[in-house]
Amino acid sequence: MSIEVKNLSHIYMQGTLTEAFALTDVSFTVEDGEFIGLIGPTGSGKSTLIQHLNGLLKPTSGTVLVDGVDIWSKGVSLKEIRRKIGLVFQYPEQQVFEETVFDDIAFGPRNLGYSPEEVERSVEAARQVVGLDKELLSRSPFDLSGGQLRRVAVAGILAMNPEVLVLDEPAAGLDPKGRKEILDNIKKLHESGITVILVSHNMEDVAYFCQRILVLYDGTLIADGAPREVFTKEKLIDSIGLKPPEVTIVMRKLRQRGWSVREDVLTVEEGFEEILRCLGTKGVALI
Amino acid sequence: MMNDDAAGIVIKGLTHSYGLDENHRVMALAGVDLVIDEGDFVVILGPNGSGKSTLAKHLNVLLLPDEGDVWVFGMNTKDPDFTWEIRKNAGMVFQNPDNQIIATVVEEDVAFGPENLGVDPKEIRERVTRALEAVDMLEFARHAPHYLSGGQKQRVAIAGILAMEPKCIILDEPTAMLDPRGREEVMQTITRLNQDMGITVIHITHYMDEALYADKVVVMNEGKIVMQGTPRDVFEEEELISDLGLDVPPIGKLSRMLASHGVPIDSNALSVDELVDELCQLK
Ligand SMILES: Nc1ncnc2c1ncn2[C@@H]1O[C@H](COP(=O)(O)OP(=O)(O)OP(=O)(O)O)[C@@H](O)[C@H]1O
Ligand SMILES: Nc1ncnc2c1ncn2[C@@H]1O[C@H](COP(=O)(O)OP(=O)(O)OP(=O)(O)O)[C@@H](O)[C@H]1O
Ligand SMILES: [Mg+2]
Ligand SMILES: [Mg+2]
């Protein structure tokens, strides 16, 4: 499934004193099977943008095409679009409302007319992906810790088996192990064929998991490329208040101090290799 | 019920359980003992559900102990006569700044707390100015808070607490939704409040690198404190940290990998600058 965003603009409360230009002339295409990271400073328009992808928001101007069809044209079922393109909200409180955690995760599958067994299976599969304790299924979602609630919100969307998974800060508030597990599992889902769009302020995660990064700034798309390309645009990234992964910063500082290390290093493992290589050429003795 | 030893915060044998229905309760705090000195900067780490938010809520009397006691600047939270005085002295900042913004103009928002405390209007104006200065937001005094960036909103929320002139601020994941610069701004702001104004800071986070700002790191698991110490001490225990589902900050990991492969550097360099300095000393 491909999604094409064409000249998309969005103005909140147009014509009022408080109107806000959230997106201005944004265009890009998401190809089937991509794993895309969407980054940008607070207020840059990320949440606004992704809510256009499954028709939760209507463009002020411009179009969103899913498999070549304008989702706002006559005869298109937005319900069908939302089944295929699942969106997890930034604040889980916006999304949970049922009496128990189980019912909350089961809400989508039931709505899609799954049989009770299928519902059970989907809930269980989703529960495992997000690492939610089984015993929490019978609890009210309002009696959970912040990180537990986040997992419920993600599981509710996964349980509908979407073809495209759009996640707005899915790992915010998760402990490091939970964060890694959930993202590793999403990566596995991606490998099994689904398309993933990840909105995140965690540059380490984006650099590690995504194949392509889109950068929004003040409602405009200012960069689109592989993580290595984007994070080495030092001036651009700094000027909009983002930061590359810390390892990349180490490399930058080493270069400033005369080391000839590569700068396009994104992960701890790559940094390790690169520093060892450089120490080798400098002839530093290891102990 | 004043405590003789009027240290910052003293917690003894604290337990807390939440009732789910008549038959089921969740044990959220299972016997916590903790002393926080006045002027300390404490970071609390711990996996999801380990009891961090529950503990924080005891510090400004949003919750009361099942068993045990909590003294905040010598005042026992169980004594209803102190509730108001404790809340005045221990201000809370939560994860989502939108939930904390009340007014439509920044300075009115900041004035809300002291107004509630019945502070006189002239004094309120002074406090608002001081609080906004402290978080470096004075130039935004007349702006609408809802149109500020997340990092700026979070600083306004902190100013709102400061205007109440508390001796202690408790921050429950205030940086979870911020971009890298916003996160750094908030961390620098609270460091400054701690160092320049002597305010006691208790900061809860899942970002391990934020623990490096602390004098003392407290690690919770299953309703108990399982480790306490300086950031270096705590991250030295890599195995325990990772068994708890936590992590060493990325640079700490890199330092360790290098040291264990024979690079003669401190295996516990935790920040970018520490590691770069260590590496540049090599001959
Ligand atoms: N419902 C709304 N009404 C009016 N303005 C809004 C509304 N929602 C968002 N905005 C404004 O639109 C702009 C883009 O907001 P958006 O929530 O898309 O940003 P974001 O990139 O998701 O930020 P964050 O990283 O803080 O989540 C901001 O200036 C914001 O203040
Ligand atoms: N209102 C509530 N009713 C019932 N149980 C609750 C409630 N709030 C929290 N709990 C439970 O108490 C335990 C501790 O929760 P708490 O919110 O203190 O954890 P936390 O360490 O802040 O976690 P997180 O990192 O996810 O925010 C958890 O098992 C949680 O499910
Ligand atoms: Mg957003
Ligand atoms: Mg919490």
Taking the whole predicted model, whether its pTM rises above 0.90 is answered as yes
* Cβ–Cβ under 8 Å, residues B60 and B48: no
Which pLDDT band, with edges at 50, 70 and 90, does A282 fall under? Answer: confident
Mean pLDDT of A241-267: 93
Interface of A with B in 247-266 (CB under 8 A): 247, 249-250, 253-254, 257, 259
Q: Measured between alpha carbons, how far is residue A129 from residues A116, A132, A157, A161, B195 in Å? A: 20, 8, 11, 12, 43
Confirm or reject contact between A7 and chain B (CB < 8 A): no
Q: Which of B48, B150, B280 sits opposite A175 (nearest CB)?
A: B48
Q: What is the pLDDT of residues B246-258, one digit of tens each?
A: 999 999 999 999 9
pLDDT at A132: 96
Average pLDDT rounded to a whole number, residues B70-92: 95
Mutate to test the pocket of ligand 2, among B26, B58, B96, B204 (most ligand atoms within 8 A of CB): B26
What single-letter DSSP state applies at residue B281?
A: T
Q: Is B26 in the pocket of ligand 2 (CB under 6 A)?
A: yes
pLDDT for position B3 = 54
A20 touches chain B (CB under 8 A): yes
Residues of A in contact with B282 (CB under 8 A): 279, 282, 284
Q: Do B176 and A254 touch (CB under 8 A)?
A: no
Give the N- to C-terminal CA distance of chain B in Å, as an integer.
62
Predicted confidence band at B87 (pLDDT cuts at 50, 70, 90)? very high
Contact of A284 with B282, CB cutoff 8 Å: yes
Q: What are phi and psi of A210, to 5 degrees?
A: -95, 150
For residue A149, the CA-to-ligand 2 centroid distance in Å is 9
Per-chain mean pLDDT for chain B:
92
- Interval B193-242: pLDDT, tens: 999 999 999 999 999 999 999 999 999 999 999 999 999 999 999 999 99
The mean per-residue pLDDT over the stretch B107-124 comes to 93
* B63 CB burial (10 A radius; 0-12, 13-18, 19+): buried
* CB within 8 Å: B261 and A276: yes
- The beta strands (E) that lie in chain B are given as 9-19, 25-36, 41-45, 67-72, 75-76, 90-93, 168-172, 200-204, 216-221, 224-229
Within 47-86 of A, beta carbons closer than 8 Å to B belong to none
**B23 pLDDT band (50/70/90 cuts)?**
confident
pLDDT of residue B188: 92
Across A106-119, average pLDDT: 95
Average pLDDT in the B73-101 region?
91
Q: Which residues contact A117 (CB under 8 A, 6 or more apart)?
A: none
Residue entry with tokens 């890298």: B180
**B267: chain A residues, CB-CB within 8 Å:** none
Does the beta carbon of A45 lie inside 6 Å of ligand 1? yes
Look at residue B173 in the predicted model and tell me its pLDDT.
94
Q: Which residue of B has its CA nearest to A143?
A: B20
CA A45 to centroid of ligand 2, rounded, Å: 31
Which residue is listed with tokens 């890599």?
B238
For range B153-160, the mean pLDDT: 90
What are the residues whose beta carbon lies below 5 Å from ligand 4 (ion)?
Answer: A 146; B 53
Q: Is A33 on the interface with B (CB under 8 A)?
A: no
DSSP B23-88: S-EEEEEEEEEEEE-TT-EEEEE--TTSSHHHHHHHHTTSS--SEEEEEETTEETT-GGGHHHHHH
Query: Which one is predicted more confidently, A80 or B95?
Result: A80
The pLDDT mean for chain A works out to: 94
The amino acid present at A38, given as its one-letter code, is L
Q: How far apart are CA A158 and CA A104, in angstroms?
A: 12
Q: For A16-36, what is the mean pLDDT?
A: 93
Which residues of chain B have a CB within 8 Å of the CB of A90? Answer: 177
A77: confidence class by pLDDT, cuts 50, 70, 90: very high
Range B114-123 average pLDDT: 92
b/e per residue, A194-203, with b = 16+ CB within 10 A?
Answer: bbbbbbbbbb
Atom 24 of ligand 2: nearest residue by CA position: B48
User: What domains can you pick out in chain A, each with its CATH number?
Assistant: 3-242 (3.40.50.300), 245-287 (no CATH)
Q: Who contacts B253 (Cβ-Cβ below 8 Å, separation ≥6)?
A: A268, B247
Q: Which of A173, A245, A285 sits opposite B176 (nearest CB)?
A: A173
Closest listed ligand to the CA of B45: 2
Give the residue-averaged pLDDT of A32-41.
96
Which pLDDT band, with edges at 50, 70 and 90, does B2 fall under?
A: low
pLDDT of residue A64: 98
Distance (Å, whole) CA A175 – CA B49? 10
Which pLDDT does position B1 carry in this prediction? 53
Pick from A90-94, A95-99, A122-126, B70-74: least confident: A90-94
Ligand 2 neighbourhood includes B91 CB (under 6 angstroms): no
Report, as an integer, the average pLDDT of A178-206.
95
Q: Which has more confidence, B2 or A139?
A: A139
Band of the pLDDT at B20, cuts 50, 70, 90? Answer: confident
Those residues whose beta carbon sits under 5 angstroms from the ion ligand 3 are: A 47, 90
Q: How confident is the model at residue B97 (pLDDT cuts 50, 70, 90)?
A: confident
What distance in angstroms lies between residue B201's CA and the mean position of ligand 1's atoms?
30
DSSP annotation of B196? H
Q: Which residues in chain A have Cβ-Cβ distances shorter than 8 Å to B46?
A: 175
Q: For the residues A114-143, what does the mean pLDDT come to?
A: 95
**What pairs with residue B93 in β-bridges?**
B171
User: Cα(A159)–Cα(A118) distance, rounded to whole angstroms?
Assistant: 10
**Given a cut of 80, is residue A116 above it in pLDDT?**
yes
* B95 Cβ below 6 A of ligand 2: no
- B16-37: average pLDDT: 94
Q: What pLDDT sits at residue A234?
A: 86
